[in-house]
């Protein structure tokens, strides 16, 4: 649907341009061999493709948003259907447009992974095996998107791309890998739900409160990171770093609290194992989230950029 809308928009723009600048026809005739009608048609077709595709590039985002709104809710919300919504076989014909369509697909994958983490956390705190099963199904879609998007980006690398598009393709490859890892952590959390249910393990009230706290901060890091990546909000990278550091601090504090509860025999050892695994998954989810945000720096190392920010901040305090 997005491909059809793009072609339609490009055609409308080209026809409008012909009406405003009819000399385009004369230009095509003049650059073609005299009397060679087939060459004139070929040149006209080339000119049409060039102008229509270039003109529609700035309209990619609104076109994709419009097509998404046109879709039925059940199709829009169906996360278990393994398919690409924005990339098609025609995307390789125009690599510059293809890059922008991949960005839309990457954002879709990010939102699916974000929502799956939320669902996994709901399944855990509610001890709901049905929601956990849903998480595992959605994870298959995330894996599918990872495979398809990565494969398409590799194909695009073989095409003629501008330097900016080559850089963007590299960024998206890294972002997709981090999104896929976030999906893996959602799967782990869903498995902890099933383990809680089957083993009847118990996590202390203090432990549950700590898990809710670190889960909330980890989700905030993920949501902000996705927004920073999508909108290229370089000035908000510091906020992402602060959130991620708070998750690191919570991990250290809560693990120490857990050790003290074990020593004082105030928690179930079986639940304690799940508690520490959950803490680890949520902290790593935050790590992958900050990678997504800092990917907008291009080839620069996420770790290096984060450390540079922390040093600069500390010097200014």
What are the domain boundaries of the chain?
1-70, 82-316
Both tokens assigned to 2: 């997005």
Phi, psi for 93 (deg, rounded to 5): -65, -40
Q: What is the DSSP string of 195-258?
A: HHHHH-----HHHHHHHHHHHHHHHHHHHHHHHHHHHT-GGGHHHHHHHHHHHHHHHHHHHHHH
Percent above pLDDT 70 for the chain: 82
pLDDT at 4: 63
* pLDDT category of residue 114 using cuts at 50, 70 and 90: very high
Residue 61 has pLDDT above 90, yes or no: no
Task: Give every CB contact of residue 210 below 8 A, 6+ residues apart in sequence.
Answer: 250, 254, 257, 279
Topology of domain 82-316 in CATH is Methane Monooxygenase Hydroxylase; Chain G, domain 1 (1.20.58)
pLDDT at 317: 47
For residues 222 and 98, the model is more confident at 222
Q: Give the DSSP H/E element, type plus range, for residue 136.
A: helix 129-157
pLDDT at 8: 73
For residues 217 and 27, the model is more confident at 217
pLDDT at 307: 45
Residues 125/212, Cβ–Cβ less than 8 Å? yes
Q: What does the pLDDT average to over 200-208? A: 92
pLDDT at 248: 97
CA angle 86, 88, 91 (to 5 degrees): 95
Residue 316 has pLDDT above 50, yes or no: no
For the stretch 147-160, pLDDT in tens is 999 999 988 877 76
How many Cβ atoms sit within 10 Å of the Cβ of residue 90?
Answer: 14
pLDDT at 204: 93
Q: How far is CA 164 from the centre of its chain?
A: 19
CA distances from 170 to 142, 213, 311 (A): 19, 34, 27
């Amino acid at each position: 649907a997005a491909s059809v809308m793009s072609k339609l928009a490009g055609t409308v723009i080209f026809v409008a341009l012909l009406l405003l600048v009819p000399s385009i026809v004369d230009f095509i005739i003049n650059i073609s061999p005299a009397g060679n009608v087939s060459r004139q048609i070929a040149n006209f077709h080339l000119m049409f493709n060039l102008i229509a595709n270039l003109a529609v590039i700035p309209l990619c985002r609104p076109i994709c948003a419009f097509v998404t709104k046109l879709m039925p809710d059940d199709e829009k919300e169906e996360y278990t259907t393994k398919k690409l919504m924005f990339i098609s076989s025609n995307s390789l014909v125009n690599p510059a447009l293809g890059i922008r369509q991949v960005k839309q697909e990457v954002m879709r994958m990010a939102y699916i992974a974000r929502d799956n983490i939320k669902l996994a956390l709901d399944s855990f705190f509610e001890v709901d095996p049905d929601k956990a099963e849903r998480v595992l199904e959605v994870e298959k879609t995330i894996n599918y998107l990872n495979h398809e998007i990565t494969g398409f980006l590799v194909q695009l690398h073989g095409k003629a791309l501008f330097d900016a598009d080559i850089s963007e393709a590299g960024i998206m490859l890294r972002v997709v890998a981090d999104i896929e890892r976030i999906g893996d952590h959602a799967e782990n959390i869903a498995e902890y739900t099933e383990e809680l249910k089957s083993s009847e393990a118990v996590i202390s009230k203090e432990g549950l409160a700590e898990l809710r706290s670190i889960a909330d901060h980890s989700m905030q890091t993920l949501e902000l990171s996705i927004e920073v990546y999508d909108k290229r909000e370089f000035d908000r990278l510091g906020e992402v770093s602060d959130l991620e550091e708070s998750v690191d601090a919570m991990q250290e504090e809560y693990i120490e609290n857990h050790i003290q509860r074990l020593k004082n025999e105030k928690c179930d050892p079986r639940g304690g194992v799940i508690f520490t695994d959950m803490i680890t998954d949520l902290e790593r989810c935050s790590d992958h989230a900050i990678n997504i945000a800092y990917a907008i720096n291009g080839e620069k190392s996420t770790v290096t950029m984060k450390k540079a920010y922390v040093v600069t901040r500390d010097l200014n305090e």
